[in-house]
Structure 1
Amino acid sequence: MMNAAGITKEKIRKNVLGSVFLTIFLDLVGFGMFIPVIPLVARRFGASDSEAVAVASLYSLGTLLAVAILGRLSDSMGRKKLLLGTVAVSTVAQVLTGLAQSYPILLAVRFIAGMASGNISVAQACISDVTTPQERGKSMALIGIAFGLGFSLGPAIGALISLLFPNESLLGIGIAAAVLNLFNLIVVARRLPETHHGLAGPEMRDLITHVKQASESKKDEQITGVWWQDFRHLVQDKGFRIVLLLGFLQVFGFIGVESVLSLMLNDAFMITEQRQQYYAFMYIGFMLVLVNGGLTRPLIQRMGEVRTLNLGQLLLGITMIALPLVAPSLPLLYLFLFTLAAGSGLSNPSISSLTSRLAPNHMQGFALGTSQTLGALARIVGPATFGVLYQSMGGGRSLFVSAGLMLLGWIVAVLGLQSTHKRFMAEKVAGA
């Protein structure tokens, strides 16, 4: 039976995980709400089609520049301050997006919004602060659930607001997104304690002690203050280098599907109605939620992060080969959209958990921020790369390149992370 101290620790942990989930979820809802209207608004401002697509790339560029910086700052300034600050900036950016009256202003405010969304590295650091290495994989799956929910609900909400306010859709979405951010700001301010072990208050002491004891094999050193020296320290670990590579390949390969899927739905599967395309994206999002909520956690607990990652990458590789080949069959399309969601839902939390477990305690924010930086870089160069491939390779066959990247990652993980898997499983047995 849990004593009073155990109940308090569990309550604090739930508050932290709930606040982190809400922050990421509302970030993704806010981003997704603009997906249906931003390209059309950019066109109205005189932008070409390529310039309209560039709005999303600039958003990712802002995230790229911010994730490592924010993660590193949270290692010295604390997690809560950074989350409050970035949510406040995001609130302002959403309002300014709604008020934008020209293409350059639209670019600028979406770039700022992208920088604010770099707080995902801070959110991940919060999770690592309050979870033991054995619990971390299950808790990181919350990020996948938040992504899935935000990705599925965001475009639907944005489309609904566009229908209700056809003449002021951008402003309506901007205000709605800002209201959600204000709610998030209140929740974080009231419910999220500071989780950084060196800056947390007395209410966190028991939980921090518990987590540090469970992670005592990692030395609690000080960051050097020079990012490239800290990075060099991180990549001395072979497993960490491999996980960084896998994270990049995962995002770069998956973005190949994400960036051309709407084109494939139109060209290969004959889904020309925009509303029907939204259904396909929402289906992926809901399947991500189901996989992360019902499958990822028990699999990581049973098989470990490495084996779960292997399974996810194999599913993604098979899916990306199959999708161009099964067109125009709609039943097979939805079957492989499920395996797409399953592969992503298994791989992403595993990579996040491995990144955290292989990094020293004092560099959690920096390590997770570095991983997110590489992911953001992949999101910038990926759409342009696969857009060219889609055009030059005759459509959906461009996904074969994505499949090759996923299968390459699968081979690297199977061969390169065996010792990491054995070590973590031995730690699990020892801690049982």
Structure 2
Amino acid sequence: MKKSPLVILLLTVMLDLIGFGIVLPLLPTYAKDLGASPFMIGLIAAIFSIMQFIFSPLWGKLSDKIGRRPVMLISIFVTALSYLIFSQSDTILLLIFARGLSGVGSANIAAAQAYITDVTDSKSRSGAMGMIGAAFGVGFIIGPLVGGLLKHNYGIEMVGYVASALIFFDFILAVFFLPESNKQAKKFHIGMFSGKSEASGSANSSSSSFLKEKITEYVDGLKLTFSSKPLALLMIANYIFTFAIVNMQVASILLWKEYFLASDQEIGYIFAYVGFFSVIVQGGLIRQLIKKLGEHKLFLWGHIFTFAGVFFVPFIPQDTLFTYGLLILLCFAIGTSLVAPINLSMISLYSYKQKQGQILGLSQSVNSFARIMGPFSGSVLYGMNFHAPYIVAGLLTIIGTFIAFALFKYKIEALEPVAEAESI
């Protein structure tokens, strides 16, 4: 196995996520400065996830046809263009368009994961996939720091320019150093994005049936999942936990800015602080804890820590954001870093044999739906009362805690009804 293509791929993913992290913490307050209503702020936050949900499987499927390299190149270029448009977004409609276009480009994660499966064997694949998770953490440490510094000192235009330049550098790296990994794909030559019409035509002709196909897969996946009580509980926990976190993320940025009077630069520090401890937990500590305590106990404690990390945020005194607030956010970083990966791990462990891919795919879809709906809820609730998003998030994590308790009665190794799964 050649390691260099994987290194270049992970570098491009990390640069992409740093660009994402530069812009993300500034969006809600900038949208509000443009006159956006709570609903519109929710839409601006959600449009990225909506486009990712639509285009992620399309990019993945297209990469099977024409190759990973052209899909990665085109999507990276689209992302760089979106940040350039963002730098000039002086109206709400233009800001929505820029974020939607960014979601289209950043949906290349499916193609990136497919690239990893092409260049790794079964033994090294999990580690390589884990590196993508680490790239997310690095992006959320470096990106917000840079974004807050740029916005504070040079304005929103410079934020867009730097993010665009970073992603365009990512594009140049991929052009020169990222080889094609899918040897079975139809040839697709990229000079200035010119390709064989046969490949693109084939992709376009299948697009009409793709939606029906995905709906059928989704319904079948739900039937399969809800035929098992622990799987059903985990899938419900996945949705409500993701919804709870996204529900309060948009509200948090507004709260830090308006109630705690934090600057854009200080908000960047907060994001980097949470990202730093998330990387520590997910980068190795979680494996040791699983060996010592097991998935069930960690899943429970993750929800308890997360409750402490979301519910109490708006109730601390205004001048304690960087004292009591940091302690609460430490709980948030620990809790979310435990719950999300353990939920995915437990879904995999409880899944029917030979059906893991389908069930894990459904889990990603459920997660995406929560990321689409959460920003609307958080923005509207914040507009009603700034305590509301955190109270709702806290209540949802309590429900997740009860689900975690309920899962203790189901032994992981006892769940293997393969024949039942096949009959559904």
TM-score, normalised by the number of residues in structure 2: 0.73
Query: 2: CA distance between counterparts of 1:117 and 1:287?
Result: 25
Q: Go from structure 1 to structure 2 and tell me whether the alpha carbon gap of 1:415 and 1:258 turns closer, same or farther (over 3 Å shift).
A: same
User: What's the offset of the Cα at 1:186?
Assistant: 4.2
Q: Is it true that 1:230 corresponds to 2:200 in the alignment?
A: no
Structure 2: gaps spanning 5 or more residues:
186-209, 416-424
Residues 258-269 of structure 1: matches in 2 within 5 Å? Answer: 258-266=249-257
Q: Which residue of 1 aligns with 2:335?
A: 343
Deviation per residue, 1:196-241 (Å, 9 max, x gap)? xx87xxxxxxxxxxxxxxxxxxxxxxx9x93344334433143544
Residues 46-125 of structure 1: matches in 2 within 5 Å? Answer: 47-50=35-38, 51=40, 54-71=43-60, 82-98=71-87, 103-124=92-113
Whether contact under 8 Å (1:291, 1:346) holds in the other structure is yes
Q: Go from structure 1 to structure 2 and tell me whether the alpha carbon gap of 1:370 and 1:316 turns closer, same or farther (over 3 Å shift).
A: same
Whether contact under 8 Å (1:98, 1:174) holds in the other structure is no
Whether contact under 8 Å (1:67, 1:372) holds in the other structure is no
Q: Go from structure 1 to structure 2 and tell me whether the alpha carbon gap of 1:24 and 1:339 turns closer, same or farther (over 3 Å shift).
A: farther
Deviation per residue, 1:170-207 (Å, 9 max, x gap)? 552353233343155348724x7349xx87xxxxxxxx
Query: 2: CA distance between counterparts of 1:304 and 1:70?
Result: 36
Whether contact under 8 Å (2:312, 2:328) holds in the other structure is yes
Whether contact under 8 Å (1:89, 1:113) holds in the other structure is yes
Q: Is it true that 1:332 corresponds to 2:320 in the alignment?
A: no
User: What's the offset of the Cα at 1:32?
Assistant: 2.2
Q: Is it true that 1:243 corresponds to 2:231 in the alignment?
A: no
Structure 1: gaps spanning 5 or more residues:
1-7, 200-222, 425-432
Structure 2 counterpart SS, 1:172:
helix
Q: Go from structure 1 to structure 2 and tell me whether the alpha carbon gap of 1:336 and 1:309 turns closer, same or farther (over 3 Å shift).
A: same
Deviation per residue, 1:319-357 (Å, 9 max, x gap)? 223334444544221112111011111222223444556
Residues 195-210 of structure 1: matches in 2 within 5 Å? Answer: none
Residues 135-174 of structure 1: matches in 2 within 5 Å? Answer: 136=126, 141-162=130-151, 165-166=154-155, 168-169=157-158, 172-174=161-163
Q: Which residue of 1 aligns with 2:170?
A: 181
Q: Is it true that 1:371 corresponds to 2:363 in the alignment?
A: yes
Q: Go from structure 1 to structure 2 and tell me whether the alpha carbon gap of 1:389 and 1:188 turns closer, same or farther (over 3 Å shift).
A: farther
Residues 282-301 of structure 1: matches in 2 within 5 Å? Answer: 282-300=272-290
Query: 1: CA distance between counterparts of 2:285 and 2:19?
Result: 27
Query: 2: CA distance between counterparts of 1:230 and 1:28?
Result: 29
Q: Is it true that 1:276 corresponds to 2:263 in the alignment?
A: no
Query: 1: CA distance between counterparts of 2:75 and 2:347?
Result: 23
Letter in 1 for 2:36: S
TM-score, normalised by the number of residues in structure 1: 0.72
Q: Which residue of 2 aligns with 1:400?
A: 391
Q: Go from structure 1 to structure 2 and tell me whether the alpha carbon gap of 1:27 and 1:300 turns closer, same or farther (over 3 Å shift).
A: farther
Structure 2 counterpart SS, 1:193:
coil
Instruction: Give the superposed CA RMSD.
Output: 4.1
Q: Go from structure 1 to structure 2 and tell me whether the alpha carbon gap of 1:60 and 1:396 turns closer, same or farther (over 3 Å shift).
A: same
Q: Is it true that 1:193 corresponds to 2:185 in the alignment?
A: no
Q: Which residue of 2 aligns with 1:30?
A: 19
Structure 2 counterpart SS, 1:226:
helix
Q: Go from structure 1 to structure 2 and tell me whether the alpha carbon gap of 1:162 and 1:108 turns closer, same or farther (over 3 Å shift).
A: same
Whether contact under 8 Å (2:299, 2:343) holds in the other structure is yes
Percent of aligned pairs sharing the same letter: 24
Whether contact under 8 Å (1:140, 1:352) holds in the other structure is no
Letter in 2 for 1:90: T
Letter in 1 for 2:54: L
Deviation per residue, 1:393-412 (Å, 9 max, x gap)? x4335412212212222322
Query: 1: CA distance between counterparts of 2:75 and 2:348?
Result: 22
User: What's the offset of the Cα at 1:59?
Assistant: 1.8
Whether contact under 8 Å (1:67, 1:369) holds in the other structure is no
Q: Which residue of 2 aligns with 1:390?
A: 382
Query: 2: CA distance between counterparts of 1:30 and 1:19?
Result: 17
Query: 1: CA distance between counterparts of 2:405 and 2:116?
Result: 27
